[in-house]
Homo-oligomer: A and B are copies of this chain.
Amino acid sequence: MLTKEQLETLWAEADEIYLNNISIDCVVFGFHEGVMKVLMLKSNNEDAWLLPGGFVRKLEPIDVSANRILKERTGLDEIFLKQFHVFGDPDRTKLHNEMYRDMLPAKKNFFDRRFISIGYYALVDFVNANPTPDVFSEVCTWQDINDLPPFQLDHELIFKTALDTLRLQLNYQPIGYNLMPREFTMPELQKLYETILGKKLDRRNFQRRMLGFGILNKLEETRKGGAHKAPYLYEFNLEHYQAALDGGLSGGW
């Protein structure tokens, strides 16, 4: 829990360096061992979780803000980021503000304001990310998207909207490339698609179709270890992938 002194310092800084009514919230996706994850923060005071977020510096392009915010939460640079929706309901931060309302005079409190939040989704390499809490939170960690804790504010809406966006953009954005490790097997990639689409796909048709796009390089090695036939490893052919995405991968799922 922040003390009154800490909050006053934060407020003074925030008011000076950030735009006053704009925030950014990020839905950071990672994929690990066949499971899709979202990065979330548990705030000091409540038993509910938040998406990582922050504010826009007065002279900073918003994409740069989002990158800066996520670098602080993950340690990663050059994250794949896309804005996807603006959440502009005047009441959206009501509950959250009430938490700190009594600690500072309303007129002076930067945080007791209406924030119009720009939603970004981010795709990061799970293994290289290093989740780090911010001053308002005690925990920053990955959560399985099939087993999410309770959200604060409208962050559940933001998360769901991001996931819907991912689904719609699967044929237009390099989602596979940014979520998979450099080398992966076909079943692993299929798992990602199934998670995003929320449905099972036929193993054999998935493989044939994916190879048909010509966006994968088949590697010599296989993934040994399982008590079964070892699957081949693949990597994305980034050049072909980008070209194919320009027109959108054909067909639906």
Nearest to A89 among chain B residues (CB) is: B61
Let me know if A62 is at the binding interface, CB within 8 A.
yes
Number of copies: 2
With both beta carbons as reference points, the residue of chain B lying nearest to A88 in the complex is identified as B62
Judged by a CB distance under 8 angstroms, whether A160 is at the interface is: no
Q: Is the CB of A118 within 8 A of B88?
A: yes
Cβ proximity bits A84-98 to B, threshold 8 Å, 1 near / 0 not: 011011100000000
* Cβ-based interface call for A10 (8 A): no
Contact A61 B83 (CB under 8 A): no
Instruction: Please tell me the number of chain A residues within 8 Å of chain B, measured between CB atoms.
Output: 26
Contact code string A131-168 (vs B, CB < 8 Å = 1, else 0):
00000000000000000000000000000000000001
Residue A71 is within 8 A (CB to CB) of chain B in the complex: no
List CB contacts (< 8 Å) of A46-73 with chain B.
Answer: 56, 58-63
Does chain B have a CB within 8 A of A242? no
Closest chain B CB from A203 CB (angstroms)? 24
- A197 within 8 A of partner (CB): no
Is A21 in the interface zone, CB < 8 Å from B? yes
In whole angstroms, what is the CA distance A172 to B19 when docked? 34
**A116 contacts B by Cβ under 8 Å:** yes
Interface residues of A in 11-25 (CB under 8 A from B): 19-22
A: which residues have CB within 8 A of B?
Answer: 19-22, 56, 58-63, 83, 85-86, 88-90, 114, 116, 118, 168, 172, 248, 250-252
